[in-house]
Structure 1
Amino acid sequence: MAARPILYYAQFSPPSRACLLTSKLINLNIETKSINFEKKENHSEWFLKINPRHTVPVLVDRGVSLSDSHAIITYLVDQYGKEQHEHLYPKDLLKRAIVNERLYYENGVLFQAAKDFAARIFYGGEISYNNHSKKLCHNAYKFLDKFLNHSNYVAGDQLTVADVSINTSLITLDKLVPVEEQRYPKIHTWMQRMKNELPDYKMNEAGAQQLFQRFEDSLVENMTKHGLLFSFFVFISIEHSLAMVKPCLYFALFSPPARACLITAKLIGLDIDVKHVNFAQKEHLSDDFIKLNPQHQVPIFVDDDNEIYVDSHAIICFMVSKYAKDDSLYPTNLTQRARVDHRLHFENGVLFQVIKDLVARNIYGGEGEFNQKSLDMCQNAYGFLESFLQNGKYVVGNTMTVADISINTTLITLNMLIPVDQTRYPNIVAWMELMKSLPDYEDINVKGADALYKRIITVMAENKNKSN
């Protein structure tokens, strides 16, 4: 007799609950094993062998492990569902494509809102529910409401695994950002339908409540740890800067965007006051700092008229436009400016995303090695940059611009982590040599890059030791 499929799960996990509910819908006698996250069972050696990502759910069936809920629930229906269950994941290719589309929506849009809350509160130390996370929720709700415009279910007129997957994420988000009946009437009706039609729904609600309670407990813990501990110091610092005529830059040396701003100021001879923000002491999470930037990030630029600017790209362009003696770093010619803007968006949306991916995986995600996805993202970014440099010494022709500064501050850290192959990327190598002419390059750029590099490498080593 073939062994039963085994599902490793945690009840608080929406993807885990989607798998449990699907198995119940098709009357599958599945073996379940709860993973205790408090005891770090998901980081144990035996668990990492079945899922190196150390996440739940994991389905082990016939000697093969699946570790994504969307793959698991569709597989379960295909493999073990009877004819009467076909509506859950239709064999008709067009209907199936619609279900898949909704599953991708759940994974890429709806569940990302939950992950944003988790990243900010569990790992980022935030003391309240962030407005950005709330906006992600409402954006996801709007799409879901439209999906339900002409049918009772998210992918047509019958219940599918897409309804199951979306529901398990939504009922937790509903506790964080309520689905208002007046604003989202179709979602509200659908949620009631799911409550009536999905089996063992009390298990689903209990799991959602567990996850919600984790959020609430973490908020209290974060407030206890960081609450007002540094607020007086930061308040005095901020009030002092706002009273000054000299522009002020809130800064952290490890931050590539912050270094881009400081280097730009030096390059154009702008006399600014620099305020170092101590992330180790959570100064960026104090109430008064968040008044300056609700995203609790550096850099922040407070201009001489007390106007506040955030985002390094906006700051460096503003600095040059207002204070530089000429427009070479950020041309007024619209065609040239568009090219510079393009490279800035490349840095933000492609190159810097590699740093964010490494931080998410290796600092917050507990990974001890570079993930292949991170490596692929990095080489992809290097490839684009190499092509930009085929038409000149700098990323936009033969004149240095703010795009070179922004890209360079990110690249030198990446080069320490994932070295730029000299044979494969000769243009980048030559350009990096040119960029060493930037002011205070060693003291600002190299030291800052080294600080971020050492932080990532140190945490990776710790993660590797934990998993061994």
Structure 2
Amino acid sequence: MGASGSTSVLTTTLKHCTLFKTDRSPACRAVMMALDAMNLSITEVDVNMDKGEHRYPEMLVMNPLQTLPIFKDRELVICDSHAINTYLASRYNETGRLYPKDAGGRALIEQLLHYDSGVVYPKYRAASYPVLYDKCSSVLPEHACEVECTYRELENMLVGRQYLGGCWVTLGDISVAATVSTLNILVPIDKLNYPRLSSWLHRMSEEIFYITANKKGLGEFTRRIDSSSVCDDVFKCPRSSEGRRARTGTPETEFQ
């Protein structure tokens, strides 16, 4: 058991917060995993990007970039998964385990978040978009080569440590895991070439928050890659994070 906690941990319900998302997006799943790791429950609204719902006028007011996720806390709107997660950890999580309170510790985690947003995620987009939207049958060789370079970098970053952030799971691990687990579908991680990276991803996959917030979206992404067909949303929305996790019997508090 890692930072995800258990069903006996008190869940905090933030009724004034809403997450607009789509499960097949790694960025959205990173926020969902962070919510589950911090035992926070907010309203979640599924947005069907295949039907262009992210371009509706009310969505463009919140995010002119036409991307997901979009997070709203009363009048505050944040549209980057890394910024959303650090905000949630700073504002609503007091443990400091996922996101340290000291400046040095935070800088190390933010370094990982910038690595994900500046290096790993762009390679995911480059590799996946031709398959998703241009009807390519497989990842282009040059993009696969770039993904392999990232795997080598991550393998080196894990020398002497169990997690990218150190001895336990941090927001950095969560963001990178969301992206790398999706890349692994496109360019499978070779266990012989990247044993540390493979072991790290396996450890992450056993975390409760990974199971509740990442596995379903990975399945949707895999089906989309395999069939190049439009995926219909399975769940009606809006719903709460707590409902998505289906942790019945978990005590809740309201954070007004």
Same fold (TM > 0.5): yes
Judging by fraction of residues, say which structure has more strand: 2
Q: Deviations 1:100-129 (Å, cap 9, x if unpaired)?
A: 111111111111121002333344443332
Richer in helix (by share):
1
In 1, Cα distance between equivalents of 2:131 and 2:206: 32
2:131 aligned to 121, 138, 142, which one?
121
Residue 203 of structure 1 deviates from its aligned partner by: 3.9
Per-residue deviation, 1:202: 4.8
Of the three residues 82, 88, 104, the one matched with 1:76 is 88
Equivalences for residues 322-401 of structure 1 within 5 A: none
Structure 2 unaligned residues grouped into runs of 5+: 1-12, 231-256
Q: Paired residue for 1:337? A: none
Partner of 1:174: 184
Match of 2:34 in 1: 22
Q: TM-score, normalised by structure 2?
A: 0.80
Alignment match, 1:65? 77
Once residues 25 and 127 of structure 1 are traced to their aligned partners in structure 2, the CA distance between those partners, rounded to angstroms, is 36
- The corresponding residue for 1:135 is 145
Secondary structure of residue in 1 paired with 2:77 = strand
Structure 1 residues 2 and 202, CA gap change in structure 2 (3 angstroms): closer
| Partner Cα distance (2:14, 2:175) in 1 | 28
Question: TM-score if structure 1 supplies the norm length?
Answer: 0.45
Give CA deviations for 1:65-99 in whole Å, capped at 9, x if unaligned. 1000000001100000023xx11011121221111
2:202 maps to a residue whose letter is: Q
- Deviations along 1:331-354, one digit per CA (max 9) or x if unpaired, are xxxxxxxxxxxxxxxxxxxxxxxx
Contact 2:17 2:42 in 1 (8 A): yes
Checking the alignment, whether the CA contact within 8 Å between 1:171 and 1:205 is kept in structure 2 is: no
* Aligned-CA RMSD value: 2.0
Residues 124, 59 of structure 1: CA spacing in aligned structure 2 closer, same or farther, 3 A cutoff?
A: same
Counterpart of 1:45 in structure 2: which amino acid? P
DSSP-derived class of the 1:4 partner:
strand
Unmatched tracts of structure 1, length 5 or more: 222-468
Equivalent residues, number: 218
Q: In 1, Cα distance between the equivalents of 2:201 and 2:210?
A: 15
Q: Larger RCO: Structure 1 or Structure 2 (Cα < 8 Å, ≥ 6 residues apart)?
A: 2
Aligned pair partner of 1:110 in 106, 120, 136: 120
Larger Rg: 1
Find the aligned partners of 2:134 and 2:45 in 1 and give their Cα distance. 30
Q: 1:154 to 1:2 in 2, by over 3 A?
A: closer
Matched, 1:9 2:21: yes
Judge conservation of contact 1:56–1:67 (CA < 8 Å) in 2: yes
| CA-to-aligned-CA distance 1:381-415 (integer Å, 9 cap, x gap) | xxxxxxxxxxxxxxxxxxxxxxxxxxxxxxxxxxx
1:220-241 Cα shifts (integer Å, max 9, x gaps): 99xxxxxxxxxxxxxxxxxxxx
